[in-house]
Amino acid sequence: MLFNSFEFFFFLSIIFVAYWFIAHERIKLQNILLLIASYVFYGWWDWRFLSLIALSTITDFIVGHKIYNSDQKQVRKKWLWVSIFFNLGLLGFFKYYNFFIESWIDIFTSIGYELKSTWTLQVILPVGISFYTFQTLSYSIDIYRNKLKPTADFVAFAAFVSFFPQLVAGPIERATNLVPQFLKERKFTYQAFSYGIKLMIWGFFLKLVVADRAAIYVDAVYGNIENHDGLSFIAATVLFAFQIYGDFAGYSLIAIGTSKLFGFDLMTNFRRPYFAASVSEFWTRWHISLSTWFRDYLYIPLGGNRAKKPRWLFNLFITFLISGLWHGANWTFVVWGALNGAYLILEVLIFKKNRKGVLNVLLTFVLINFSWVFFRANSVSDAFYMIKKIVTVPGRLYIGSGDDIAASIYATLAIAILLMVEFKKEYFDNVFSISKHKFEWVRLMGYAVLVYMILYFGVFDKSQFIYFQF
Amino acid sequence: MIKREFKLSLVKIGKFIVVFLIADFLLGTMSKQLFFNQETGKYARSTHAIKKSEDNVLIFGSSHAHRHYVPEVFEKELNKTCYNVGAEGQQLLYHLALQQMIFKRIKPKLIILNIDEGFLYSSKEAYDRLGDLHPYYEEYKDELRPILGLQSKLIDFKLFFKSYQTNSTIVHALRYHLSPQIDYKGYRPLFGKVALTNKSKMLKVNRREIDSNFVTALERFIDSAKKNDVDLVFVTSPKFDPIDNSENESFKKIMNIAVNENVTVMDFFNSKQFLNQNDLFHDPSHLNDDGAKLFSKAVANKIRNLK
């Protein structure tokens, strides 16, 4: 089920009423309701893959207890490896199996040996597998590190793994933050309810107006690169920067807002990333739940920045390389990750102190956009073709044909609104705010107009969220 | 305490809904006014056909209809008034919807449906582009519900909001208000010639799945014409390159339906009069103005000879 569908609107209304009016003040019943709702939400897409979530849940529930109940380091470690192998095994098979087989065949082909591709399988990538496997892994690892006690409440744990607002595209919650929330009573407050709705409205604006409008131009250019030149590639890449931001930050806000309706607090996932003055700062603002996951469970265990400089730089690079691969089984994502790793290494080597100022913000935006070319291109060779054309053949700027022209105009207007809102939030947070205005009618009108804009300018029934494929 | 919070939330939500509905009504009414006051552009042409046209001959179809049929030629040759309601990028579901809305007001004497060979093949765009019908829903619910219902089961709920009815039409309306798009009774000519290549290639349509909704739409289109006593002719437009439809399931099915329903078909695919005549084509798939006039005359002559 998609957030941007009317089915979700009805689903959410039913669950909300049942949760607060039927299961009210009965934590166990509320958790059962959330668990069923989450499985229905996921099963709406493909019920067969519910078994994977169930398996992952059972495995980590058992592993958590086994780790916690043992005093022997070797035994604890053994059980931790069970969780790691199981979760990464699922991910590896469903997401990377064909990619590695095909890459292996390509390597042999490039050195003159023709291998027949009989090993590749028709594997469907289960939606959200990258997210929930990382979330359950964090549970086992945190118990291993004595940061968390395993819960004895299986239903609460299962609801944590499959919690529908963030099941398929994050934020990737830490067990230390989310599991305890399933074990305590949730209180309904007007403040949380209102804030949740506001976050959802803004999330829908980002998704339906910013991202989906930009996508029309981006797809027209990236899907047909032979017929476009450098200027169009630049325009499409800048629009893609906002498309992916609107898409993913929009999803995160809807997820966080939805969770608030049920009394849960999820972590912030995006903090105005395009106002970052360096690439390292960008990564403290972009997909924060994943960046911090990799920081805590990969980068720091590798030695982080406490090792000698060459090792530190290696740690940085390898973390981003793997982060790139996490995003998709394609060399474009690997190059994208490597490029971001290289940016960070260069920043460590060249700049001694934190950078600030408009020029640095612009430079960072350009660097990030350069990396987006690889992220969005259909292949690495397509990305190089586009970069070559950007440098050598600026050509004519494609402005779209037919309805595409209108889509580009709507996207540009929506991005302008987004930038104004974020600029104000970044630099003048206390100056003026519609959402905090003293007059209620101003607040109501502000949000009514925003909802009107979503319905009037939004793209409906046409698109999934980009991050579903990861 | 909790009850108070619920009550407060309900009151606030209630206030918000009222404010939103007022905003939706006021702004939505303005955008609908803007929409229906368009004088040129694709929406203006559809609106004209639905609400104003009194013409005897109506031409339906996609860009091939829109760019290939010159009403002036038909009027001269058939001595009947004619309007071209071809809509670029649209397919059978849209044409059926348009036909149903037009039939609510008038019954033309003749309808020409320009057939694209892949009309019955599944197409996501065919559903996505039904959004162009949303502004008409309030007035033509009975005609449009079965068609828009294929796109979404919640169509009545969605189109309750005026904002959604005119979703993303403002730029189109303003654009053609500032810079009118000239048409000649719905026909817009293309100019220029297609580049000549050394070798003519045989076109083949890739096999795709047949969409049963499109088959039903075509059958309903024929059935409605019959019930309203409107003559119906299927025409295929010429292409620059030869086309092989022997394995084209969509085209074969359309032809079967036409034979079973006794609908006259005028097949101009591979017509020697047009094949590889670069003077007559704007691009390999579309005739230029000269080609369109010649083609219109050929179709009109055939229709006249039917009598």
pLDDT in tens, B11-44: 999 999 999 999 999 999 999 999 999 999 999 9
C-alpha separations of A162 from A91, A151, A251 in Å: 16, 16, 16
Which among B64, B61, B120, B93 is positioned nearest to B253, based on CA atoms?
Answer: B120
Cβ of residue A410 closer than 8 Å to a chain B Cβ: yes
Instruction: Check residue A117 and give its pLDDT.
Output: 63
- Give the pairing of strands B264-267 and B203-204: unpaired
Q: Which amino acid is at A350?
A: I
Facing residue for A456 by CB, picked from B6, B166, B172:
B166
CB atoms within 10 A of CB B26: 12
Q: DSSP states of A185-215 as a string?
A: -----HHHHHHHHHHHHHHHIIIIIIIHHHH
Interface test with B, best of A10, A26, A456, A461 (most B CBs within 10 A): A456
pLDDT band of A78, cuts 50, 70, 90: very high
**Rounded Cα distance, B12 and B3, in Å:** 14
Percentages helix, strand, coil for chain B, rounded to the nearest 5?
50, 10, 35
Instruction: Check residue A407 and give its pLDDT.
Output: 79
Instruction: Check residue A119 and give its pLDDT.
Output: 66
The beta strands (E) that lie in B55-126 are given as 57-60, 82-84, 110-115
ipTM score for this prediction: 0.78
**Rounded Cα distance, A101 and A22, in Å:** 51
Cβ of residue A405 closer than 8 Å to a chain B Cβ: yes
Instruction: Check residue B1 and give its pLDDT.
Output: 62
Q: Which amino acid is at B92?
A: L
Instruction: Check residue A387 and give its pLDDT.
Output: 94
Cβ of residue A333 closer than 8 Å to a chain B Cβ: no
Cβ of residue B161 closer than 8 Å to a chain A Cβ: yes
Cis peptide before B108 (omega within 30 of 0): no
Element (H, E) at A314: helix A309-327
Instruction: Check residue A91 and give its pLDDT.
Output: 87
More confidently predicted of A307 and A84: A84
pLDDT band of B175, cuts 50, 70, 90: confident
More confidently predicted of A349 and A103: A349
pLDDT band of A304, cuts 50, 70, 90: confident
Q: Are B93 and B212 in contact (CB under 8 A)?
A: no
Catalytic residue numbers of A read 327
Cβ of residue B16 closer than 8 Å to a chain A Cβ: yes
> What average pLDDT does the segment B248-271 reach?
94
pTM for this entry:
0.85
CB pairs under 8 A between A and B: 80
Judged against a pLDDT cut of 90, whether residue A394 lies above it is answered with no
Cβ of residue B2 closer than 8 Å to a chain A Cβ: yes
Judged against a pLDDT cut of 90, whether residue B268 lies above it is answered with yes
Asked if the Cβ–Cβ distance from A190 to B8 is below 8 Å, we say yes
> What average pLDDT does the segment A441-464 reach?
84
3-state secondary structure of B12: helix
Facing residue for B171 by CB, picked from A190, A409, A451:
A409
On chain B, the residues whose CB falls within 8 A of the CB of A441 are 19
Provide the percentage of residues in chain B whose pLDDT is more than 90.
74
> What average pLDDT does the segment B195-221 reach?
82
> What average pLDDT does the segment A301-325 reach?
92
Q: Which amino acid is at A217?
A: Y
Judged against a pLDDT cut of 90, whether residue A405 lies above it is answered with no
**Cα atoms in the 13 Å half-sphere on the side-chain side of A331:** 11
On chain A, the residues whose CB falls within 8 A of the CB of B154 are 6-7
Instruction: Check residue B214 and give its pLDDT.
Output: 96
**Rounded Cα distance, A160 and A200, in Å:** 21
- Mean pLDDT for all residues in chain B: 92
**Rounded Cα distance, B175 and A50, in Å:** 49
Interface test with B, best of A13, A190, A205, A457 (most B CBs within 10 A): A190
| Beta bridge pairs of residue B210 | B121
Judged against a pLDDT cut of 70, whether residue A382 lies above it is answered with yes
Instruction: Check residue A463 and give its pLDDT.
Output: 55
The answer to which of A246-260, A450-464, B82-96, B228-242 has the lowest mean pLDDT is A450-464
pLDDT band of A461, cuts 50, 70, 90: low
Judged against a pLDDT cut of 90, whether residue B262 lies above it is answered with yes
- pLDDT tens profile B102-150: 999 999 999 999 999 999 999 988 998 898 999 999 999 999 999 999 9
More confidently predicted of B93 and A407: B93
- pLDDT tens profile A363-373: 999 999 999 99
More confidently predicted of B227 and A118: B227
Instruction: Check residue B231 and give its pLDDT.
Output: 96
- pLDDT tens profile A40-61: 999 988 888 898 899 999 999 9
Separation in Å, CA of A215 to nearest CA in chain B: 15
- pLDDT tens profile B289-298: 999 999 999 9
- pLDDT tens profile B143-160: 999 999 998 878 888 899
On chain A, the residues whose CB falls within 8 A of the CB of B158 are 6, 460
Instruction: Check residue A469 and give its pLDDT.
Output: 57
C-alpha separations of B140 from A136, B92, B134 in Å: 52, 18, 10
Judging by beta carbons within 10 Å of its beta carbon (0-12, 13-18, 19+), is residue A356 exposed, middle or buried? exposed
Instruction: Check residue A266 and give its pLDDT.
Output: 95
Instruction: Check residue A83 and give its pLDDT.
Output: 94
Instruction: Check residue A465 and give its pLDDT.
Output: 56
- Give the pairing of strands B231-236 and B243-244: unpaired
Render the burial of A37-60: b for 16+ CB within 10 Å, e for the rest.
bbbebbeebeeebbebbeebbebb
